[in-house]
Amino acid sequence: MNESSNTASLTSRRDFLKDTGRLAAASALAGVALPHVHAAASETIQIALVGCGGRGTGAAADALRTKFGPTKLVALADVFEDRVNNSYANLRKQLPDQVDLPADRRFVGFDAYKKAMDCLRPGDVAIFASPPAFRWVHFTYAIAKNLNVFMEKPVTVDGPTSKRMFALGEAAQKKNLKVGVGLMSRHSRALEDLAKRVHDGAIGDIILQRGYRMHGPIGYFSSLPKPAGANELLYQIQRFHSFIWASGGNYSDFYIHIIDHLGWLKNAWPVKAQALGARHYRQSPEGVTYVDQNLDVYAVEYTYADGTKFDFDGRCMTGCQDMYSSYLHGSKGMAIASRNGDCGMPSSIYKGHTIRRSDMLWQSQVPPGEENPYQNEWNDLMHAIRNDKPYNEVQRGVEASLVTSMGRMAAHTGQEISYEDMLNCEHEMAPGLDQLGANSPAPLQAGPDGRYPVPTPGVTKTREY
């Protein structure tokens, strides 16, 4: 891929995105009136959950616990019946007075998302927690229905859908719809305080950033061959972490939070990336070869327009040293952004580049009741809905997803990849997702040996597999 100028202006990039997204935005708005959608302060806001796994169920619980209620959960949707049933049982047990889910509002299937959103009124809220590949499909329908939205991260995994989502975000904004994106670090009160201090010069000019997420395999990081007779499409959707088309793989799904909040603290996005990646242990303890598309380790060097570097290391291996944190080094000192996890408090600032208590200049203190960034993001969204305040996190959600994908593609191809390279890569990994049915072929097909295509750095250079 051709290297783009490190000094390409954000203004020209935004103009480019407006031009390329105009048709998609027009399509999302075609034939639909533009009402002033606003929920009254005392009105019960209804919630529909699309994607009933653990993260979706957690997001629904946070929506019901918001301090800017009243809220009520009125519909569930997923392609897996057991997930709908488990989510219903879990939420009914936790918050019985706010769960109104008779059997005829618990939907299963590829059209379930439409049925769930059809239960809502304009100004209600749809939660999207299905695999990221489906985000644009569900968001398009929500805009047509005049619904506010909370969507989990990442919001895209490739260039074509990123352009589509930029345009859809503009369409939602024109309709006064409020949209939250589940990058909860932006709602960590500790990181908010740190960001203000860093932007005000507390550590001087940022000269280096470091991010780490290294631990054993979790979620659906690795997958064994599809069981005989199982539906290929449902197998891949269920094990979405294993397939780049569905989730961006473990790199996008696991690492986006640290990439996002370090970009926020820098007040810029990296413009290019070069990277290493490798597959080491690709067999189960029983000796069966894993068939997922993930690499076991990633080492990515991001570069900002001013030449500053941001190094990110990711690893999913058992028995290695765990490290899950993020750091900033400046001309006047350093800061710990996340001490442990995606946004683990407290954040702190030091006068040198060694972490010593005697050198600590500041440590975050969070107001009581605002310790949980997952709850904060819902309180912030619902406050905007209740008070009709501008609230649209789509653009930065797509930008964070693109920057994450840029690092992933650099590792998968062995090439230096710029932001524009990632945005303009023509490989849409799963076209036609709005037309899927239970008998549709999966976007990725296994070879005769039951294995799926994997990245081959230096061999496949213009796409990831």
Residue 314 falls within a domain, yes or no? yes
Q: Are residues 149 and 222 in the same domain?
A: no
pLDDT band at 415 (very low <50, low <70, confident <90, very high): very high
Q: Are residues 115 and 175 in the same domain?
A: yes
Q: Are 413 and 455 in contact (CB under 8 A)?
A: yes
The reported pLDDT for the residue numbered 449 is 87
> Cα(9)–Cα(440) distance, rounded to whole angstroms?
42
Q: Are residues 21 and 77 in the same domain?
A: yes
Q: What confidence tens digit (pLDDT) does each residue in 175-205 have?
A: 999 999 999 999 999 999 999 999 999 999 9
Q: Choose between 465 and 13: higher pLDDT.
A: 465
> Cα(6)–Cα(210) distance, rounded to whole angstroms?
20
> Cα(305)–Cα(8) distance, rounded to whole angstroms?
8
Of the candidates 318, 321, 339, which has an alpha carbon nearest to the alpha carbon of residue 218?
A: 318
Q: Are residues 228 and 113 in the same domain?
A: no
pLDDT band at 37 (very low <50, low <70, confident <90, very high): low
Residue 142 falls within a domain, yes or no? yes
Q: What confidence tens digit (pLDDT) does each residue in 422-465 have?
A: 999 999 999 999 999 989 999 999 998 889 999 999 999 999 99
Q: Are residues 268 and 386 in the same domain?
A: no
Cα dihedral sign for 309, 18, 413, 211?
positive
CA 51 to chain centre: 14
The DSSP code for 177 is -
pLDDT tops 80 at residue 373: yes
Q: What confidence tens digit (pLDDT) does each residue in 45-55 have?
A: 999 999 999 99
Q: What confidence tens digit (pLDDT) does each residue in 258-316 have?
A: 999 999 999 999 999 999 999 998 888 899 999 999 999 999 999 999 999 999 999 99
Residue 463 falls within a domain, yes or no? no
Q: Are residues 159 and 82 in the same domain?
A: yes
Scanning the structure block, which residue is given the tokens 């442990």? Answer: 340
Contacts of 6 (CB under 8 A, 6+ apart): 271, 272, 303, 305, 307
Q: Are 382 and 66 in contact (CB under 8 A)?
A: yes
Q: Are residues 143 and 203 in the same domain?
A: no
- Give the mean pLDDT of the chain: 93
The bridge status of strand 309-316 relative to strand 206-215 is parallel
Of the candidates 261, 269, 245, which has an alpha carbon nearest to the alpha carbon of residue 156?
A: 245
Residue 92 falls within a domain, yes or no? yes
> Cα(283)–Cα(305) distance, rounded to whole angstroms?
41
Counting Cβ atoms within 10 Å, is residue 46 exposed (0-12), middle (13-18) or buried (19+)? buried
Q: Are residues 204 and 147 in the same domain?
A: no
Q: Are residues 84 and 197 in the same domain?
A: no
pLDDT band at 40 (very low <50, low <70, confident <90, very high): low
For 320-373, strand residue ranges (E) read 323-330, 333-338, 348-350, 360-363
pLDDT band at 26 (very low <50, low <70, confident <90, very high): very low
Mean pLDDT of 234-246: 98
Query: Residue 290 belongs to a domain with what CATH number?
Result: 3.30.360.10
The DSSP code for 225 is P
The reported pLDDT for the residue numbered 14 is 42
Helix, strand, or coil here: 210?
A: strand
Q: Which domain holds residue 340?
A: 189-370+403-424
Q: What confidence tens digit (pLDDT) does each residue in 333-369 have?
A: 999 999 999 999 999 999 999 999 999 999 999 999 9
Residue 440 falls within a domain, yes or no? no
Residue 447 falls within a domain, yes or no? no
Bridge partners for 45 per DSSP: 71
Scanning the structure block, which residue is given the tokens 């930008």? Answer: 399
Q: What confidence tens digit (pLDDT) does each residue in 377-400 have?
A: 999 999 999 999 999 999 999 999
Mean pLDDT of 22-34: 47
Query: Residue 111 belongs to a domain with what CATH number?
Result: 3.40.50.720
Q: Are residues 168 and 105 in the same domain?
A: yes
Torsion of CA 306, 307, 312, 313, to 10 degrees: 180
Mean pLDDT of 221-250: 97
Residue 431 falls within a domain, yes or no? no
pLDDT tops 60 at residue 18: no
Residue 441 falls within a domain, yes or no? no
The bridge status of strand 272-278 relative to strand 148-151 is unpaired
Q: Are residues 125 and 245 in the same domain?
A: no
pLDDT tops 70 at residue 15: no
Q: Number of structural domains, the chain?
A: 2
Mean pLDDT of 4-10: 39
> Cα(307)–Cα(208) distance, rounded to whole angstroms?
10
Mean pLDDT of 411-418: 98
pLDDT tops 90 at residue 39: no
CA 384 to chain centre: 21
Q: Are residues 270 and 173 in the same domain?
A: no
pLDDT tops 90 at residue 172: yes
